[in-house]
């Protein structure tokens, strides 16, 4: 086979053989509510599903730790944003898992969800940002009863105080 019979054009700008989508392009394909932050916790991206869950569209770079209007422990106790799972992940480099918390939308409606924050790290291992997928709890009994403690599930503060890294979900 004579290799001179083949024409290679590695500089073709319209060639998609080596296409690599941006992070935002990849995140847009995920149906679950998802957002990212920088290393200080300022929102840098969120998808439409996250805006729908939050009930509004926070301004990028102005909202910190998460886009939720208000957060609550499972027992209804207000949870300051600076103690949210994303804040813990970015400050401590560990990700609280298996925790259910509640959010309140600007219209006053509340719902339970499970956050799955993950620290984004550079080549040396330093935290450069965070990514969080929020899974809405679809069991109506949990959505309605955010004021009562959930049996068998620790609150976020209890998990932080106990130094828990993983909770059974």
Strands (E), 54-148: 70-72, 101-104, 110-121, 127-136
Tell me: the pLDDT tens digits for 127-165? 999 999 999 888 644 443 444 444 445 555 555 554 444
pLDDT in the model for residue 14? 56
Kindly tell me if the per-residue pLDDT of 68 is higher than 90.
Answer: yes
pLDDT in the model for residue 25? 77
Burial class of 165 by CB neighbour count within 10 A (0 to 12, 13 to 18, 19+):
exposed
Q: How far apart are CA 37 and CA 119, in angstroms?
A: 9
Q: Is residue 11 part of a domain?
A: no
Q: Is residue 2 part of a domain?
A: no
Tell me: the pLDDT tens digits for 88-136? 999 998 888 889 999 999 999 999 999 999 999 999 999 999 999 999 8
User: How much of the chain, in percent, has pLDDT values that exceed 90?
Assistant: 53
Residue 52: which CATH number?
3.30.450.20
Q: Is residue 134 part of a domain?
A: yes
Counted domains in the chain: 1
Q: Is residue 7 part of a domain?
A: no
Q: What are the angstrom distances between the C-alpha of 53 and each of 58, 65, 71, 111, 135? A: 12, 16, 12, 9, 10
Q: Is residue 154 part of a domain?
A: yes
Q: Is residue 126 part of a domain?
A: yes
- Domain interval for residue 155: 23-162
pLDDT in the model for residue 121? 93
Q: Is residue 13 part of a domain?
A: no
Q: Is residue 10 part of a domain?
A: no
pLDDT in the model for residue 16? 58
pLDDT in the model for residue 166? 43
């Amino acid at each position: 086979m004579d290799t001179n019979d083949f024409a290679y054009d590695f500089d073709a700008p319209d060639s998609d053989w080596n296409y690599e989508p941006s992070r935002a392009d990849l995140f847009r394909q995920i149906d679950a509510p998802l957002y990212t932050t920088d290393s200080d916790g300022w929102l840098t991206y969120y998808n439409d599903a996250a805006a729908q869950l939050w009930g509004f569209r926070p301004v990028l770079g102005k909202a910190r730790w998460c886009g939720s209007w208000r957060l609550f422990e499972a027992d209804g106790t207000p949870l300051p944003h600076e103690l949210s799972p994303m804040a813990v992940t970015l400050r401590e480099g560990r990700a609280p898992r298996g925790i259910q918390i509640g959010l309140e939308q600007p219209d006053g409606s509340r719902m339970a969800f499970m956050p799955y924050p993950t620290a984004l790290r550079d080549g040396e291992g330093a935290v450069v940002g965070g990514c969080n997928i929020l899974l809405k709890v679809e069991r109506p009994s949990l959505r309605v009863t955010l004021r009562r403690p959930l049996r068998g599930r620790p609150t976020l503060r209890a998990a932080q105080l106990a130094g828990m890294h993983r909770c059974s979900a």
